[in-house]
Amino acid sequence: MIADLPAVLVLNAKDNVGVVPANVDAGRALVNGVVAAERIPRGHKVAISHIAEGAPVLKYGQIIGYATKAIQPGEHVHLQNLAILDLALKHEFCVDNAPAVMVPEERRRTFDGFDRGNGRIGTRNYIGILSTVNCSATVSRYVAEHYARRFREAGHDNIDGVVALTYGGGCALNLKSEGGRILTRTFKGYARNPNFGGILMIGLGCETFQYGPLVEEAGLEEGKTFRTMMIQNQGGTRKTIDAACEMIDDMLPDVGRIRRTPQPLSGIKLALECGGSDGYSGISANPALGVASDLLVKEGATTVLSETPEIYGAEHLLTRRAARPEVAEKLLSRIDWWRDYTARNDAELNNNPSFGNKAGGLTTILEKSLGAVAKGGSMPL
């Protein structure tokens, strides 16, 4: 019940701010004799002790920014008095990397999944359409919509659906550039993703990002459940859609024959990503995911913190858990890349949190990151 909630949540004994779980009106007693000096919106921060101008503001026992003016106990702490200044974090490597206590092999659990071979285990059985250039994106979407209607009318035993993965580039892209390398790596990942029982790649024909070299480099071979096609070879949009549907129709029986079988939890690879974050995320959903992450890793599974920009300001906590020094160095090199990227593009690291994040109580990227990394639990990096 809301009536049973404390007026303020203090998350660490070092903190000089707390989070109010519900709207607080001026005059309400908070903690340790501190009284709210003004209305504090739910999920937002309130000072629980005096914070001098320029002094660090602490939440989770960590620095989330610095006071831009003196803040009195009971005052709302947010954009009007908190900002990022130069932050010098101490990066210690591997000091918290205690050997993980794993579940013994004979007691490890299983789930019903799709065995794709070579240790790849899926939780779904989709057919994926990959458009290798923006010019084939519309065709890809039309084909996926055709099967969405068809599956709604009749369904298809054991196939979760046909989905189109499209994007807006690929035409005159320099494949040796950073964007080109990321795109190539992403497509290889899609093509090998164990949640796909079948793949159809659709290109235009004249784009720089050709699927031929990609397929060869990835060690893929065309067959019943992996096909490729070019719009210019088919003679236009309508003919391509018809030909693509014929190819997928040919795939359906083979993809549909794949059945779920008991698979080890160690085959799970779980991607962890924040949705619409607010002041509660770092104290509720994200720590809960961290517990789930630990449970899976103890079974031999892998979890991934998938948003490097939402690690900045908390990377020192992860380097302490690095399995090896070179792992910590690799993480810091990505953070350095992100600093350089924002500088080159006239941006700033604190562009994140978004407007909605701030409305929900998050003030700085340091605060958001400290809550975001909680999804990674406590196991070695």
Structural domain boundaries in the chain: 1-83, 126-257, 264-376
The pLDDT of residue 290 is above 70: yes
Q: State residue 225's pLDDT score.
A: 95
Does domain 126-257 bear CATH number 3.40.50?
Answer: no
Whole-model pTM: value is 0.88
Q: Is 183 helix (H, G, I), strand (E, B) or coil?
A: helix
Task: Provide the pLDDT for residue 100.
Answer: 86
Q: What is the pLDDT of residues 86-125, one digit of tens each?
A: 777 889 999 998 888 999 999 999 999 999 988 899 999 9
Segment 229-253 shows an average pLDDT of 96
pLDDT at 350 over 90: no
**Locate tokens 């629980």: which residue?**
48
How far is CA 246 from its chain centroid? 35
Per-residue confidence (pLDDT) for residue 12, from 0 to 100:
96
Collapsed DSSP state (helix, strand, coil) of residue 147: helix
For all residues of the chain together, what is the average pLDDT?
93
List pLDDT tens digits, range 187-224.
Answer: 999 999 999 999 999 999 999 888 888 888 888 889 99
Residue 1: predicted pLDDT: 40
Q: List Cβ neighbours of 181 (8 Å cut-off, separation of 6 or more).
A: 175
Peptide bond into 353 cis (omega under 30): yes
Strands 82-83 and 56-59: unpaired
Q: Which CATH number fits domain 1-83: 3.40.1160.10, 1.20.1740.10, 2.30.130.110, 3.40.50.9100?
A: 2.30.130.110
Residues 175-192 have pLDDT tens digits of 888 888 988 999 999 999
Query: So what's the pLDDT on residue 157?
Result: 78
Whether 100 and 380 have beta carbons less than 8 Å apart is answered as yes
- Tell whether the model's pLDDT for residue 2 goes beyond 60: no
One fold for both 1-83 and 126-257?
no
What is the DSSP pairing of strand 126-131 with strand 261-264? unpaired
Element housing 189 (H / E): helix 178-192
